[in-house]
């Protein structure tokens, strides 16, 4: 693990001819108490230490996926529209997805799909640039319909929390693709609505079974969890964050998906994990789950 602001990981192949790289687009420092929610400090501090302001250092990880001749970027980081004051409070360094792509020699105009797991600032803040234009000129932006509706809803808790202005600018530019539930974007890459963290949170499933595949083709599958499981530290399914809008749903859906991920050996990508990825999940003797060695 290095500390450079922008970094593109090695490509990894998955079933269905899908290639995945982690694009590290900077850092931010969420409040540890909020991030770990119901979990007491003696438990989480076994994995990570808070700074003198009670914050923990987390990555802004995006995924760059290539499949069926298309390029898919998952997440847009914090973008360039935050005020200096907001950046200072949240400890943001970097965070601009276009800058991150250019820094590693990739062209933002080459992106065909942008998947937003949900509309919080650290995932959807880079949908549009300072002038309000979509950062990815040739992309369709994929958002769950429930998430878009929640952003426009009147729930008091969500006031000022969702990137609704950016969503509307993308919609006005004709680049919004609202989806509902499980949808295949291209062969080998699908989004699934998970809810839990937010009403319309979605995860990305990578890799398909290839009954007619050639011997030697990769058969591995992977999942990008979004903030349903932001780091490997939060694999215990009851570890709900204070940022989970629907904690009971989050626990149920985590339990279902983590169980499958462990049983079927899915490789896991985490949006805020500072360590090397992907990793696998394994069951413990006590009936729980943890990061595999
Ligand atoms: Zn997040």
Strand partners, 199: none
63 CA → ligand 1 middle, Å: 14
103 CA → ligand 1 middle, Å: 22
State residue 1's pLDDT score.
Answer: 43
**Please, what is the average pLDDT of the chain?**
94
In the predicted structure, residue 215 carries a pLDDT above the cut 70: no
In the predicted structure, residue 249 carries a pLDDT above the cut 80: yes
* 169 Cβ neighbours under 8 A, 6+ residues apart: 127, 128, 132, 133, 134
State residue 209's pLDDT score.
Answer: 58
58 CA → ligand 1 middle, Å: 9
Q: Residue 271 in 3-state DSSP? A: coil
118 CA → ligand 1 middle, Å: 9
231 CA → ligand 1 middle, Å: 10
29-61 burial string, b = 16+ CB within 10 Å, else e? bbbbbebbbebeeeebeeeeebeeeebbbbbbb
216 CA → ligand 1 middle, Å: 36
State residue 208's pLDDT score.
Answer: 66
* Least confident span in 19-33, 56-70, 78-92, 213-227: 213-227
pLDDT classification of 5: cutoffs 50, 70, 90: very high
pLDDT classification of 66: cutoffs 50, 70, 90: very high
pLDDT classification of 3: cutoffs 50, 70, 90: low
What is the mean pLDDT of the segment spanning 243-269? 96
In the predicted structure, residue 212 carries a pLDDT above the cut 80: no
pLDDT tens digit sequence for 137-192 = 999 999 999 999 999 998 888 888 899 999 999 999 999 999 999 999 999 999 99
**Is the bond into 244 cis (omega within 30 degrees of 0)?**
no
Closest CA to 122 of 194, 227, 235, 204: 227
State residue 158's pLDDT score.
Answer: 87
| Residue 258 φ then ψ, to 5° | -65, -40
148 CA → ligand 1 middle, Å: 17
State residue 74's pLDDT score.
Answer: 98
In the predicted structure, residue 85 carries a pLDDT above the cut 50: yes
pLDDT classification of 210: cutoffs 50, 70, 90: low
In the predicted structure, residue 214 carries a pLDDT above the cut 70: no
- Among positive and negative, which fits the CA dihedral 194, 65, 121, 124? negative
pLDDT tens digit sequence for 106-123 = 999 999 999 999 999 999
Residue 93 CB coordination number (10 Å): 14
pTM: 0.95
* 45 Cβ neighbours under 8 A, 6+ residues apart: none
What is the mean pLDDT of the segment spanning 60-77? 98
223 CA → ligand 1 middle, Å: 16
211 CA → ligand 1 middle, Å: 36
């Amino acid at each position: 693990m290095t500390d450079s602001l922008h970094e593109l990981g090695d490509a990894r192949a998955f079933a269905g001819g899908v290639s995945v790289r982690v694009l590290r687009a900077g850092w931010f420092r969420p409040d540890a108490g909020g991030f770990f929610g119901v979990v007491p400090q003696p438990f989480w501090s076994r994995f990570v230490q808070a700074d003198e302001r009670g914050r923990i250092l987390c990555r802004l990880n995006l995924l760059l996926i290539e499949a069926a001749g298309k390029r898919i970027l998952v997440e847009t980081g914090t973008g360039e529209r935050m005020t200096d004051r907001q950046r200072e409070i949240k400890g943001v360094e970097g965070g601009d997805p276009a800058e991150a792509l250019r820094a590693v020699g990739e062209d933002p105009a080459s992106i065909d799909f942008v998947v937003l797991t949900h509309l919080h600032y650290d995932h959807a803040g880079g949908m549009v640039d300072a002038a309000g234009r979509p950062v990815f000129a040739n992309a369709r932006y994929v958002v769950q319909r429930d998430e878009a509706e929640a952003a426009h809803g009147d729930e008091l808790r969500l006031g000022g929390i969702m990137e609704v202005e950016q969503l509307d600018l993308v919609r006005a530019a004709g680049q919004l693709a609202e989806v509902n539930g499980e949808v295949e974007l291209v062969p080998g890459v699908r989004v699934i609505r998970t809810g839990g963290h937010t009403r319309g949170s979605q995860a990305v499933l990578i890799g398909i079974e290839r009954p007619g595949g050639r011997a030697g083709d990769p058969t591995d599958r992977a999942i990008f969890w979004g903030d349903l499981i932001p780091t490997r530290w939060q694999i215990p399914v009851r570890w709900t964050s204070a940022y989970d809008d629907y904690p009971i749903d989050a626990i149920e859906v985590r339990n279902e998906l983590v169980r499958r991920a462990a049983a079927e050996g899915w490789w896991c990508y985490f949006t805020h994990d500072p360590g090397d990825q992907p990793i696998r999940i394994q069951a413990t003797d006590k009936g729980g789950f943890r990061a595999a060695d």
